[in-house]
Amino acid sequence: MWPLFLFAIAILTLCITDCVYRWRNPKCNGKLPPGSMGVPLIGETLQFFSTYKSNDLSPFIKQRMKRYGPLFRTSLVGRPVVISIDQEFNNFIFQQEGKLFQLWYMDSFMKIFGNQSLLALQGYIHKYLRSLVFNLLGPQTLKEKLLSEMELATMKHLQLWSNQDSVELKEAAATMVFNLAAKKLISYDEEKCSQKLRENFADFRQGLISFPLNIPGTPFYKCLQGKKKAITLIKNTLDERRTSPNKHHGDFMDLVLDELNKTNSILTEDMVLHLIFVLIFATYESTSTSMALIVKFVTDHPPVLEELTKEHETILQKRENVDSRITWEEFKSMTFTSMVINESLRLGNPAPLILRKTMADIHIKGYTIPAGWAVMLCPPAVHLDPTKFADPLTFNPWRWKGIESNPGKNFMGFGGGARSCVGSDFAKVQITFFLHHLVTKYRWKIIQGGDILRDPGVKFPNGLHFQILEKHK
């Protein structure tokens, strides 16, 4: 009996040893970049997602850069990944979008967003959907149709906040941008609708980065339920629109319905539903995070606030009517504001990861990245590189003087390549209008929170609570 038992133990040990060896030494038609694959299945996921407080690079990235150089391998959530800190290679990846590289997200993300979302679609379908979105959020539409509406919404919310003892800025800004985005996309009005779409998206956001355990009570389950309810509301709106005698609401759903009804349209209803869902989420979540970061940075740096206030008050002084709305020309003239936005995105890095997947073996600098591997670009590593940005941990908007509208390849605040953020102009306008009215009409102070945690995304664990008062009071 004992010999048989010992034989079984020996076989099991050999199998485990072989599995560990294969995990740590993946097959490759060449030389893999240096690095460690961590433990089987888990890899180095726990180390990668561990929280830290500094504005500096994550300890995970810094330690491996020092040990392995600007290109190294690891394993995250069960997938082999090469992390690139090499800007030359990063630019090559952007240039080869759709040829040697394609978009990739972690499997849990794709399960959440779905295979029909803008995040998942590739090639000409993705380009087609981007063109539709650009019709809504691009500079021409902003200039001709959205400026006044965006400004009035901003003024309304700032006035509302000034009547409260304390406002949690990230959440309040999210509500403001959400209301505007949902209105322009599907003519949604929170006050008139019995179903609270904002609550569904809040559930979705809270479980977005969580262990993918889909059972009742878990954050992941709540995330999927939030998405399901939001999609159902959007579908009900789409169905009502199809049967409504009023065919023109002037929103994005009008546009996609026209496209959907065309003969031989490549759009499907599922694509439309997921497109609108992703647009609402991406628009309000990323913009509100950026707004909170900017207020935090500007508040902590009085000379920046002084220069920012001076720029916006000068614009008021030049107007014939001080209460008139911001024009496109005025927006384009706010160069220091643009510098503040660039610097906040550089140092804040609200989107710290850009993910792609290799479509063929990639040979780079003596190494081979096998086909099917994920490649992670790390914008903070470029944004905080002292060879590209002097004194990189210092908040210094003046570093962008003269290049504020064209910051170059070393700036990835809105992504890069064919997948760069299609809503970047919308976000810049929204943030600029917010800052204009904040610094010219109000004074404020942070009364609670303001600490920033990263994992590697940006979080305000204790919120960013500030009190805002009209200047003349």
| 349: its two tokens | 């890095």
The stretch 117-128 carries a mean pLDDT of: 57
The stretch 292-301 carries a mean pLDDT of: 94
For residue 92, pLDDT beyond 70: yes
Higher pLDDT, 257 or 111: 257
Mean pLDDT (the chain) is: 82
> Residue 19, annotated ligand binder?
no
Domains annotated on the chain, with CATH: 30-37+44-470 (1.10.630.10)
pLDDT band at 247 (very low <50, low <70, confident <90, very high): low
448 sits in which H/E element = strand 442-449
As a whole number of angstroms, the distance between CA 156 and CA 154 comes to 5
For residue 111, pLDDT beyond 80: no
For residue 41, pLDDT beyond 80: no
Token pair 């789409």 is at which residue? Answer: 238
Residue 418 gets which letter from DSSP? G
User: For the ranges 129-138, 159-168, 291-300, 309-318, which has the lowest average pLDDT?
Assistant: 129-138
DSSP states of 329-356 as a string?
HHHHH-HHHHHHHHHHHHHH-SS--EEE
For residue 354, pLDDT beyond 90: no
As a whole number of angstroms, the distance between CA 252 and CA 229 comes to 20
Higher pLDDT, 234 or 219: 234
Beta carbons within 8 Å of 268's beta carbon, 6+ residues apart? 116, 260
Closest alpha carbon to 252 in 147, 129, 139? 129
| CA-based end-to-end distance of the chain | 89
pLDDT band at 352 (very low <50, low <70, confident <90, very high): confident
Q: What is the model's pLDDT at position 18?
A: 47
As a whole number of angstroms, the distance between CA 441 and CA 312 comes to 10
For residue 300, pLDDT beyond 50: yes
Q: What is the model's pLDDT at position 467?
A: 93
Token pair 């992670």 is at which residue? Answer: 376
Q: What is the model's pLDDT at position 1?
A: 54
Residue 143 burial (10 A CB sphere; 0-12, 13-18, 19+): middle
420 sits in which H/E element = none
Higher pLDDT, 68 or 351: 68
Q: What is the model's pLDDT at position 77?
A: 76
Q: What is the model's pLDDT at position 145?
A: 81
For residue 391, pLDDT beyond 90: yes
Q: What is the model's pLDDT at position 11?
A: 58
Q: What is the model's pLDDT at position 344?
A: 93
Phi, psi values for residue 93, rounded to 5°? -60, -45
Q: What is the model's pLDDT at position 312?
A: 94
For residue 334, pLDDT beyond 90: yes
CB 393 within 8 A of CB 73: no
Percentage of the chain beyond pLDDT 70 is 85
Higher pLDDT, 408 or 110: 408
As a whole number of angstroms, the distance between CA 161 and CA 152 comes to 14
Q: What is the model's pLDDT at position 101?
A: 85
For residue 440, pLDDT beyond 90: yes
Residue 208 gets which letter from DSSP? S
**Own/partner pairs for 141-150, CB < 8 Å, 24+ apart?**
142/328, 142/425, 142/426, 142/429, 143/328, 146/184, 146/426, 146/429, 147/325, 147/326, 147/327, 147/328, 147/331, 147/429, 148/325, 149/180, 149/184, 150/180, 150/429, 150/430, 150/433
Beta carbons within 8 Å of 45's beta carbon, 6+ residues apart? 38, 75, 76, 77
pLDDT band at 220 (very low <50, low <70, confident <90, very high): confident
As a whole number of angstroms, the distance between CA 293 and CA 470 comes to 22
Q: Which amino acid is at 360?
A: A
Q: What is the model's pLDDT at position 242?
A: 82
Higher pLDDT, 284 or 317: 317
Higher pLDDT, 221 or 111: 221
User: For the ranges 32-36, 170-174, 188-192, 371-375, which has the lowest average pLDDT?
Assistant: 188-192
